[in-house]
């Protein structure tokens, strides 16, 4: 069985549910480790009032016994504390509508397209599920996948390189300080000078009732070569990672390695030359491809840059058209973050961890973690003999 997951729940409903299938039996999973990832998602300078209400904790409902996976579906619940304030509006059973109908769709959101698709009269039916609150469930699933990847020495991390027009100078950050600086930064940027400028820009945007987007890097270290496949379009690892990352709310572009910089380079400057030594085997001195060639991992770190647009929920709303009166009005003003780029990086870690875990399970199989470890060991021994 491959690894897959589904989520359910609305932004202001009772809570979020995620069901994760395909995790092999015998994997140690602690709820506290999942809670750490959920807490990382909630942090970041520029987050909105919702984060002052919610403190996310996971409740593992099934699939574990004595903190070890059973091989059966793992189901998890993350309760919404804000549900207490929305019980009448979001009740799944009451037929009495307590609250106004939302008829002024917000530009840049799923409001109008979703309303047209499902034929509803109140686009709250759309925004509640389209909300980025759903990413808490994605992070919970990704946290379990991270635990699986750790067994094979694979680490997934992220860091912010741009918010608005402020860019990090990564050349000024020692490689061994990237992770430390990132987790110590209020905006998860390893460049301390850029962190200060980013925070000032976020504060300025908040004062204007505006929002900010940015860019972040996801890095997956320790990946064995050969994950994914060149044989079919839907098996290519970069394609699958792209879909997973683009499914995150407000992500508008995904690049691997040099990404769009390749457009201005000759082919002679666009490829990673291959070398060999008895000590290292086959290796490359550069990583312009971002760890994936021909739809398969090549043994180098997978490096992905994601672009997130500014959040379209504004306290000074843009113009729209009321779906009832057909008159031009200001869009609905709904509580949101000023900048969620730092949180998006954490969500992207989860999305990437899921796809890498799924690729490993598909290649090596195994109903138990011991079966998988044995298969991976045999594969690495074969690679060492080439």
Number of Cβ atoms within 10 Å of the Cβ of 358:
21
CATH 3.60.150.10 fits 4-92+102-384, yes or no: yes
Q: In this structure, are residues 379 and 365 in contact, taking their beta carbons and an 8 Å threshold?
A: no
pLDDT at 49: 59
pLDDT at 315: 84
- Burial (CB < 10 A; 0-12, 13-18, 19+), residue 83, is middle
Q: What digits encode the pLDDT tens for the residues 260-286? A: 999 999 999 999 999 999 889 999 999
372 Rama sector, left if φ>0, alpha if ψ -120 to 50, beta otherwise = alpha
In Å, how far are 18, 28, 138, 368 from 63, measured between CA atoms?
Answer: 12, 11, 17, 13
Query: What's this model's pTM, rounded to 2 decimal places?
Result: 0.95
pLDDT at 336: 78
Q: What digits encode the pLDDT tens for the residues 10-36? A: 999 999 999 999 999 999 999 999 999
pLDDT at 98: 61
Domain extents for the chain? 4-92+102-384
Average pLDDT for runs of 10 along the chain of length 386: 96 96 98 97 79 81 98 97 90 76 93 96 94 96 98 98 98 94 96 97 94 97 98 97 98 97 95 94 96 98 98 89 95 86 97 98 97 97 89
In Å, how far are 61, 217, 281, 295, 344 from 306, measured between CA atoms?
Answer: 33, 6, 32, 18, 9
């Amino acid at each position: 069985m491959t690894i897959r997951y589904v989520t359910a729940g609305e932004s202001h409903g009772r809570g979020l549910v995620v069901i994760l299938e395909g995790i092999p039996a015998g994997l140690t999973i602690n709820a506290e480790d999942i809670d750490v990832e959920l807490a990382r998602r909630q942090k970041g300078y520029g987050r909105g009032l919702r984060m002052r209400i919610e403190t996310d904790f996971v409740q593992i409902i099934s699939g574990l016994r004595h903190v070890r996976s059973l091989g059966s579906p793992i189901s998890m619940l993350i309760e919404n504390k804000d549900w207490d304030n929305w019980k009448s509006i979001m009740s799944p059973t009451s037929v009495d509508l307590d609250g106004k109908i939302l008829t002024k769709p917000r530009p840049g959101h799923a409001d109008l397209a979703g309303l047209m698709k499902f034929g509803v009269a109140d686009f709250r039916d759309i925004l509640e599920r389209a909300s980025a609150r759903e990413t808490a469930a994605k992070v919970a699933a990704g946290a379990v996948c991270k635990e699986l990847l750790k067994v094979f020495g694979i680490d997934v991390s992220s860091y912010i390189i741009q918010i608005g027009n402020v860019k990090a100078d990564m050349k000024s950050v020692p490689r061994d300080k990237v992770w430390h600086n990132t987790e110590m930064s209020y905006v998860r940027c390893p460049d301390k000078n850029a962190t200060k400028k980013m925070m000032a820009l976020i504060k300025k945007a908040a004062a204007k009732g505006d929002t900010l987007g940015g860019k972040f890097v996801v890095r997956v270290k320790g990946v064995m070569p050969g994950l994914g496949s060149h044989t079919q379009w839907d098996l290519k690892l970069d394609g699958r990672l792209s879909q997973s990352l683009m499914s995150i709310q407000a992500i508008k572009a995904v690049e691997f390695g040099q990404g769009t910089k390749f457009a201005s380079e000759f082919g002679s400057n666009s490829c990673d030359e291959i070398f060999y030594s008895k000590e290292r085997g086959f290796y490359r001195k550069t990583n312009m491809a971002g760890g994936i060639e021909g739809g398969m991992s090549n043994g180098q770190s997978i490096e992905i840059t994601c672009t997130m647009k500014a959040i379209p929920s504004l306290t000074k709303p843009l113009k729209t058209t009321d779906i009832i009166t057909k008159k031009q009005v200001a869009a609905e003003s709904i509580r949101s973050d000023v900048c969620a780029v730092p949180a998006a990086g954490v969500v992207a870690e989860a999305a990437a961890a899921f796809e890498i875990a799924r690729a490993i399970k598909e290649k090596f199989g195994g109903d138990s973690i011991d079966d998988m470890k044995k298969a991976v060991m045999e594969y690495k021994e074969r690679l060492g003999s080439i």
